[in-house]
Structure 1
């Protein structure tokens, strides 16, 4: 028996309708390709990776995560954290492919494979195989046991039941609700010795990806879950709904409501970023044209607008340039105060220069707070 899918109340149906409207709008906007799409997708994935891993205590900047994603050495993240980031990125990349695979059906083997991708570097934790014994989740501050997973002998059967439900259960339920319930059930089964939280969040993203409303990068709530007080709320609602031991029931509306709120807030944020991307790109195109720089320089400037830094190798790969071409472009942008160089050789990177800081500050002054869909007058 699994935790049951709840019936939505009118307030939840209203929030769900708003989420679907925003996602449908995103889908139409993304149907037309833009020069900035690739960089925006990469940053969204980096932020999702950052959010999900930060919940587990693996902290890295978005910039370091983007470096790891393109095969570069990070400038700040430790080797241990870099391995966690690389593993998670590999799993999310596979999820992106599974989201569009024809005839795909969920199975326990794929879930085990995703777990291996995430934590395969932890050979002592039986990556990709069901845990052989009991498992306890502890409060990191007090050491208190806050959750005890089901007995090890029950786990294979529960995992099979979850897989069967993913393929055939509650198919008439909105994808956002099914994805939330997949997340809840997997994290409560806790089938592996490590990576259960990250796997559950990734499964939620995969369920939504299969619905194909938007791509995984644009439908994930992992960034939102990894932020400050939201992370505490996330643990609180899991504890409230799931209890201290495995004990399925149908009183799961608070969890689904928490997820719907997260989807709504993240959809607002992504929609704003998408609109801003177009406006910023056009502004930078005008500046590059006015200064008779090569049009490809817009790519470098946009990356520095959305990030704290740019590395030559990233720009080189994005624009398919030689090392010399990329270096010359960046030197020229630095000479015109668009970029500020730091470091030497492999550690060299470019941060926003005085002119880019003015552009960033202008857009920051236009910031509009997000609004909580369950509290119409409240903003975040």
Structure 2
């Protein structure tokens, strides 16, 4: 028996209604293509990859993750962490492909394949193969066992039950609730020797992606879960629900509330970024036009607005330019104090210049704090 899905109470239904309204609004806004959509989607995916991997101790900057996604060498990230990032990106790319697929059913082969994509470079951890023995989750700082997974001989049956549930169980429940329970059940079963946390978060994203409310990068909460104190809260929510050992029960409302709150907070962040993207792009377009520069330069400036740096190869690919064209544009933007160059040859990149720093500071000053949706309800 797997963990049971709880019934929502009035506060949860209110929060869920707000989440669904924000997601529908995002879907309508994204229906009309914009010049900044590609960069925004890539950055959201990079932040999701960063969040989920940082929870496991694999840390890389958003800028390096974007470089890895584009097939470039990262400037700061170690080779070992780069392998983790590349594996997770491959798995999330598959999640994105599966989300709108017309012919689709959850099955164990797909879950094993996703696990292999994530940790296939760890040949010693049997990637994509269900664990043959027991498994324990330890507190990294103390070494204390904080969770013991179910016996290995029970895992195949539990996975079969989970897959059957994914394909039709609790169909009356909202997608956000089902996604939260999919996440929890998979991480509690802990079926592989490694990658269980990342797999569970990716499965939550896939369940929501299949709902077609919006694409995976716009509905994932992985970025939110990887932010500082949020990670501590995430571990606490898992620990409280797991109670130290595999022991299925139906008292899962606190866990579902934790996930609904995370979805609400992340939806606020994404909605703000989407609104900001349009405003920033138009502002930069006006400035570039006044200075007589080519409109494609806006793409370079937008990248350093949302990020800490831009590499020539990234801009070149984004705008389908020759190496010479891209280099000339970036030199011109640096000469006008929009960009500041650092490094040489392959390590060269462009950071925000004084003028871009002023634009970033102006938008940061206008940023309002996020609203905790449960604060006035519980």
TM-score of the two chains, using structure 1 as the length reference: 0.99
SS in 1 for 2:341: strand
The reply to whether residue 94 of structure 1 matches residue 94 of structure 2 is yes
For 1:333 and 1:227, the matched residues in 2 are separated by 33
What is aligned with 1:50?
Answer: 50
The 5-angstrom pairing of residues 1-380 of structure 1 reads 1-376=1-376
For 2:237 and 2:26, the matched residues in 1 are separated by 29
Runs of 4+ in 1 over 4 A off after TM superposition: none
SS in 2 for 1:168: coil
For 1:128 and 1:351, the matched residues in 2 are separated by 40
1:371/1:377 contact within 8 Å kept: no
SS in 2 for 1:146: strand
For 1:300 and 1:15, the matched residues in 2 are separated by 38
Report the CA distance between 1:172 and its aligned residue. Answer: 1.1
1:100/1:210 contact within 8 Å kept: yes
Count of residue correspondences: 378
For 1:193 and 1:253, the matched residues in 2 are separated by 28
| Structure 1: gaps of 5 or more residues | none
| Structure 2: gaps of 5 or more residues | none
Q: Deviations over 1:310-348 (max 9, x none)?
A: 000000111011111100100000010000000000000
For 2:245 and 2:377, the matched residues in 1 are separated by 37
Report the CA distance between 1:103 and its aligned residue. Answer: 1.9
For 1:85 and 1:222, the matched residues in 2 are separated by 14
For 1:377 and 1:332, the matched residues in 2 are separated by 53
Report the CA distance between 1:281 and its aligned residue. Answer: 0.1
Q: Deviations over 1:41-79 (max 9, x none)?
A: 000000000000000000000000000000000000100
For 2:114 and 2:323, the matched residues in 1 are separated by 35
For 1:359 and 1:244, the matched residues in 2 are separated by 49
TM-score of the two chains, using structure 2 as the length reference: 0.99
SS in 1 for 2:167: helix
For 1:202 and 1:314, the matched residues in 2 are separated by 27
2:11/2:377 contact within 8 Å kept: no
For 2:364 and 2:89, the matched residues in 1 are separated by 29
Q: CA RMSD in A?
A: 0.9
SS in 2 for 1:257: helix
